[in-house]
Every structure is written in C-alpha cells, then in structure tokens.
Chain A
Amino acid sequence: MKKKTTMTVTEIRSLAEGVFSMKLRYPENEIPQEVRPGQFAGLYPNDPSKLLPRPISICRWNPDTGELQFVFRVAGAGTASLAAQKIGSSVDMLGILGNGYDLEKLAGKRVLLLGGGIGIPPMVELAAALASMPGSEVTAVMGYRNSDLFLTQELERYGNLLIATEDGSVGTKGNVLDAVRENGVRADAVCACGPMPMLRAVKKFAREQGIPAYISLEERMACGVGACLGCVTKTVKTDSHSHVRNARICTEGPVFDAEEVEI
C-alpha cells in the first residue's frame, strides 16, 4: 500500500562529488511488508516552494531496522535541500512506488547488472537480492565519470565487479558496454539503469546477444502514483491501462522489458 510517511534521517553523507547517501527510517508501526529491488520513493524537499516529490531509487532496504537507503546526485535546489538534511530530522516520503525488477525471471541465471552514474544505486539492492537466490550469478559493470567512485564495496560483496570510467582512470576507459566487451562477460539476462543513450545501447547489445534486457527508465514526474500521466514512455504495443502506446513509468515501470518500449 502506498503512503505518504514522515521518515527520520538516520544517515546523511557524501559518497562522491555531488553524490549523497541518505538513510531514512520508518516509524515502527509503518514498516512496509515488502520492498523490491528497482522500486523507488518520492522524497519531498523541506521547502514549501517545491511541491513535487523527487523520484529516487532505493539503493538498500533493511527490513529489520525499517531503513531505506537512497543514493542521489544533487541536480537542483530540491535535491540540494535533501542533501542538507541532518541526522534526526524529518523527510516526507511517498512510497513505495513502481514495479521493481521481476526476480522470478532472473532466478538461477547469470545476470549482468549495468549501472551508469546515478543509475548505479538501485543495482546494489538488486545484486543483493540475486546473490541470495540459489544458482544466480551476478556480474556488475558500473560506469563512472572518473575515479570518484561510489558504492563499489557494496557491489563487490554480491558478485564480480567491473568498472568503466569515461576518463580511463579506473578500469576500462569508456562506457559499461566497452567494459563488458573487453572482459568478454557472458550473461543470460541484463538489468540496467542509467542515462538514455546507455539504455539504448544496452537494448541493442541484448538483442545482439539474444538475451532479455530489463531497463529502468527515468522521466520528470508529478504525482508518482499514476494519476497525472506526466511520466509516460512510448510502448511498442497499446498499453492495457492507457489504451494508447504510452505506459506510466511510475506505475507500469520504472522497469520495463527493453523490447516492450520505444526508447
């Protein structure tokens, strides 16, 4: 069930330049039953001039403590106000939103996780979930701008980690697919989150390999719950909700089979 909840900040720290980790704890009686990798929440800036929740993917979920970890880049005044929060302060959150990755489709497979920039955080929760499933094998290939890396230790815990950097300072010089090719990574399925040019390349790569690609899309959102139709993506077939070729990223997504969307 979706709710707007007042969460308590239990951690706020900088992981890299402009990239922050924020942990938010649920009130004890409001801890959700289930949080799936690839889902997201809407975080409200503590600023009355900013009305809309910021859609931010879930990096980690700890059901024992009721804490969600978000890792986000400061992109404007709204995310800057979130980064300026202090431990113990309150943040309003709309959650849990979106579909998340379908783990059943990934069970027992060699799964290639591709994350680009601020698309990396949701891959941590996904890697953790896959690592706990018998027979699943995780190779994570993460793309950064430069040696200012983040979340690498967390990812190494759950599988092989390869790194690509735009400036070549760490790992393969280039993008995540350059690193996949350089290392001859083989996989049965791909899960990806990152900028649109990367997702387009991932779709093409998966098609060439004859394997499915599950990609997480991003779009400017308003309501976050499927009412406003702001955050749609073009679909190949007529969508069953909209009855046109548009699916709502916040509700039918953010994770789509790459072959079902026109990107």
Chain B
Amino acid sequence: MREETYRGKPDMSVNIAGVELKNPVMTASGTFGSGMEYSEFVDLNRLGAVVTKGVANKPWEGNPTPRVAEVYGGMLNAIGLQNPGIDVFIERDLAFLKQFDTKVIVNVCGHTEEEYLEVVERLADEPVDMLEINVSCPNVKQGAIQFGQDPDCLKDITAKIKRIAKQPVIMKLTPNVTDIAVMARAAEEGGADAISLINTITGMKIDIEKRKFVLANKTGGLSGPAIKPVAVRMVWQAAQAVKIPIIGMGGIASAEDAVEFMLAGASAVAVGAMNFHDPYLTQKVVDGMEQYLLRHNIQTVRELTGAVQ
C-alpha cells in the first residue's frame, strides 16, 4: 500500500466480475429482505449492492417456528428459505429495487438442479446485475447444501448454471466443510465468476429448563460476531486458493470488521445478522471504510484486498 503522497477523497469503487460497484458494501442474503423493509432506515442508493433473500422457482413455506434464537454474540436461524417464488419476486421485489441506484444481486435457491436452473433462466432477461447461488443453506432438508459440500457436485452445478446464466455468477459457499480451499477451487473450476463466504455455521441451542431444542428445526445456522474469526480465516484460505474475486461476510459489525475481511482477501463485503442489531449498519460501514482509507491515506479501497502481511 502506498501511504506517502495521496491526500484526496478515496476511491471506494470495486469491480466484481465486470460489474462496477460504487463501494464494496453489500447486504448478506436473508438479512435484508429485498431491501424494502430496511429502506426506511438506509438510503439504498448508498450501498454497493443489495443481495436479496433467496428466491426459488415456486413459493416456499419454510420451517415451523421457532425459527430464530439468540446465542452469545450471535444468533441461530432456521427460516428454511421461505420465499414468495420467482414470479412475485420479479413483479414486486425486483421492481422495487430498480428504483435505486445500486446493484442488484439475486440469491437463488432450490431443492434440485432443475429448480436452480429454472430460476436462473427466468432471471436471464430481468434487470439483475449478478446472481448468487445458495448451495449452502444448512436449513433445507433435501438438496441445497449437498451441492455445496461435495466438490464434484459444486463444480458440476456451477458449470450448468454458468452455461445458461446471462449475469455473472457468484457461488455462495458453506463453512460446514473440512477444507474451504477445495470448495473454492471447485467453484472456480466450474466457471464461477466470484465466490461469497461464509454462509452460516450449523449450530444448536437447547433449553435446559424445558429440556427441548429451542429451534423447531433442532439445528440452525449460526451468524453474528461470534463467527467472524472463522469467516476471516476461511476468506483468507479461499483467497490463497483461487483467482476469482471473493465477497467476504460473517459477523461484520463495523467498518473495521469489513476492512479485516478485505485485508484477508475479500474484494467486497456483506453485512448480515448485525443489520438486526443496527438497521443503519450498512451505511455506517460504507462511511467508516472511507474514514479508514482517509486515516491511512490509502487511495483506493481495492488496495486493501489481500494486503495482510
């Protein structure tokens, strides 16, 4: 990093697979709806991208309640990817998002290969900037996570999606694997334009007074600051393994956390569970990253990527 001469306003823009984002701050899928609910708190025009909640070919009911539980420094969720289906999504949510000057990344989910492909195909002619493929949800019984836990399956589905996708494809990886580098390489070999990580870590909470599972689904995905060190480590490992850009996430609660992910090798970051703690957080992270660059006299945010020594 050059820290000597530069004194102007830092350049916050990043380029992910040919898509120019005004800054590297996104929302993590599932924590921000389709932006509508948080648009009361945040100026969506200020975000690099809005990543939507996962959408499938048809409406999904999701899991029974309780679906969420708080744990020390984080939370568990087992929503089960409830979503209104791609038709309603396009008509309502996408139309809403297109009013804003931000990039739109649609998170795609499915039980089977065919279901993923159907959604990708439906989005081909829609005003969507990128696709993020959720092959890593721990809360859906069939399919989904299997694609993300077996490198051959991951490579295969990535290749099939790439064949028909009209937008750049981000594969979202699960941390619930032995070696994240293997999975990152599998996505890259399948032709992924970028990868995002980490999805939630499978966890569990038991109510000892009732001697029952707190979540109806028994297990749920752990998110929040509790998982951040694991996420930073995995982003760094993935960055050593692949050349495609990485979108880093997992417990980001401040601009400083976001910078840490960038230094580990991320080209962009996403704010997730902590939106629930502070609905203004995404915007604060944008402002705080810019302040960091000014403070350290760094010209472009891109210089942070992988700059850990």
Chain A interface residues toward B at CB < 8 A: 1-4, 44, 48-53, 78, 94, 219-233, 241-246, 251
Contacts and interface: CB of A to CB of B under 8 A. Distances in A.
30 contacts: A2-B40, A2-B279, A50-B70, A51-B70, A51-B273, A51-B276, A51-B277, A52-B70, A220-B65, A222-B273, A223-B279, A225-B40, A227-B32, A227-B53, A228-B33, A228-B68, A228-B77, A229-B62, A229-B67, A230-B68, A242-B59, A243-B59, A243-B84, A243-B85, A243-B88, A244-B60, A244-B82, A245-B61, A246-B61, A246-B82
A226 B70 CA distance: 17
B277 A52 contact: yes
A30 to B, nearest CB: 14
A248 to B, nearest CB: 10
Q: Chain A's interface: helix, strand, loop or mixed, by majority? A: loop
Given A2-B40, A51-B277, A52-B276, A227 B33 contact: yes
A4 B280 contact: yes
Query: Closest 7 interchain pairs by CB?
Result: A243-B84, A227-B33, A230-B68, A227-B37, A51-B277, A220-B66, A222-B68
Contact of A4 (B66, B69, B274, B278): B278
Interface of B: 30-33, 37-38, 40-41, 53, 59-62, 65-70, 72-75, 77, 79, 82, 84-85, 88, 224-225, 273-280
A52 B280 contact: no
Scoring B68, B73, B88, B273 by chain A CB atoms within 10 A of each residue's CB, the highest score goes to B68
B59 A94 contact: no
A221 B66 CA distance: 9
B37 A226 contact: yes
Contacts of B273: 51, 222
A73 B221 CA distance: 28
Contacts of A222: 68, 75, 77, 273, 276
A140 B74 CA distance: 40
Nearest to B273: A51
A222 B277 CA distance: 9
A14 to B, nearest CB: 22
B152 to A, nearest CB: 32
A117 B219 CA distance: 31
Contacts of B41: 2-4
A228 B30 contact: yes
Scoring B32, B88, B274, B276 by chain A CB atoms within 10 A of each residue's CB, the highest score goes to B276
Given A227-B31, A242-B82, A1 B65 contact: no
A222 B69 CA distance: 8
Nearest to B67: A230
Contacts of B53: 227, 229
Contacts of A94: 279
Given A225-B38, A228-B79, A232-B67, 12 more contacts: A4-B278, A4-B280, A44-B277, A51-B75, A51-B277, A53-B277, A78-B70, A227-B31, A228-B30, A232-B62, A242-B59, A246-B82
Contacts of A226: 33, 37
B84 A244 contact: yes
B85 to A, nearest CB: 6
Nearest to A76: B70
Nearest to B27: A227
Nearest to A50: B70
Contacts of B279: 2, 4, 94, 223, 225
A56 B185 CA distance: 47
Given A232-B65, A243-B59, A243-B84, A52 B75 contact: yes
A50 B75 CA distance: 9
Contacts of A49: 72-73
A222 B33 CA distance: 13
Nearest to B32: A227
Given A49-B73, A244-B82, A223 B37 contact: yes
A251 B113 CA distance: 34
Contact of A229 (B40, B82, B275): B82
B223 to A, nearest CB: 9
Contacts of A233: 65
B61 A244 contact: yes
